[in-house]
Amino acid sequence: MQPETQNHQPVFTGNTGAISQQNSVLRSTYLLLAVSLIPTIVGAGLGTSVFNIAGLMRGVGPIIASIAVIAIFYGWIYMIEKNKNSSLGLYLLLGFTFFMGLLMGPLLQKTMGLRNGGQLVMMAAGGTAGVFFILSGIAANAKRDFSFLNKFIMVGVIVAMLAVVANIFLQVPALTLALSGVFIILSSAIILWQINDIVRGGETNYISATLTLYVSIYNIFTSLLQILGIVGGDRD
């Protein structure tokens, strides 16, 4: 699978060619999104059973570890976007999804430590899949342009990230729960906007689109898992 480059300028015949390109980008995005889950699962498995990610983060200090993770997260995203028109961007994306799987390890360990941990993981996975498929169907078939969500998403992401940074120092459980709900809402809005943007021809690079959708799905799953663990966790 080779990324599409902006130097490629196909000749379209009316709307048929444009629709064909949009469908191609959407199919490539869905395919790459499915493939990206494989390194995530591998990373999550290693982060849960092999590497003691939680212990490592405690060793360097929660604040320093959190700041380092945020820096790596945004730095990696920058590199993917910078190379989105080449095969390097594809490999960087798959490496990124493996890294995100590793980061999920401590949350999965904590959840699986509950008596109903396995059930909670399945519920979060099922809920995430349900949300994605429903929103995908709405975004792909709606006649409405969802570009109006841009400002809401931009403001919401900035506010949420400021709250995340604040909670690194405050460590307030109630704020953690509230942030999980906010990330689910924001991520759902991003999925609607991104898929609608592809269908309408605004987004033509499937690597960039996959990155956006992947982070949204990841946030929904981990946020649901945190909420279910706090609200419905069966502790001894």
Q: What is the pLDDT of residues 173-226, one digit of tens each?
A: 888 899 999 999 999 999 999 999 999 988 999 999 999 999 999 999 999 999
What's the first-to-final CA gap in the chain, in angstroms?
48
C-alpha span between 208 and 211 (Å, rounded): 5
Q: What band does 60 get if pLDDT is binned at 50, 70 and 90?
A: confident
Classify the C-alpha dihedral 105-163-193-122 as positive or negative: positive
Enumerate helices (H) and strands (E) in the chain, giving the number of each.
Answer: 8, 0
Contacts with 234 (C-beta within 8 Å, 6 or more apart), sequence order: 114, 115, 116
What is the pLDDT at residue 51?
78
pLDDT of residue 16: 66
Closest CA to 104 of 214, 198, 190: 214
Average pLDDT over residues 94-103: 96
130 residue type, one letter: G
Q: Is the pTM for the entire model greater than 0.85?
A: yes
| Cβ pair 44, 104 in contact under 8 A | yes
159 or 10: which leads in pLDDT? 159
Residue 211: per-residue pLDDT: 97
Q: Which of 26-35, 159-168, 223-232 has the highest mean pLDDT?
A: 26-35
**Predicted confidence band of residue 230 (pLDDT cuts 50, 70, 90):** confident
Residues with Cβ within 8 Å of residue 221, at least 6 apart in sequence: 124, 125, 128
pLDDT at residue 179 in the model:
92
Confidence of residue 153 (pLDDT cuts 50, 70, 90): very high
Q: What pLDDT, in 10s, does the model give residues 2-29?
A: 444 444 444 344 466 667 888 899 999 9
As a whole number of angstroms, the distance between CA 12 and CA 9 comes to 9
Q: Which residues contact 64 (CB under 8 A, 6 or more apart)?
A: none
pLDDT class for 127, splitting at 50, 70, 90? Answer: very high
Per-residue pLDDT averaged across 72-90, rounded?
96
Residues of the chain by 3-state class (helix, strand, coil), percent to 5: 85, 0, 15
| Mean of pLDDT over the chain | 88
**Domain range summary for the chain, segments of one domain joined by +:** 16-232
CA–CA gap between residue 137 and residue 27 (Å, rounded)? 14
Res 236: pLDDT? 60
Instruction: Label residue 52 exposed, middle or buried (CB < 10 Å: 0-12, 13-18, 19+).
Output: middle
DSSP state at residue 147: G
- Beta carbons of 3 and 30 less than 8 angstroms apart: no
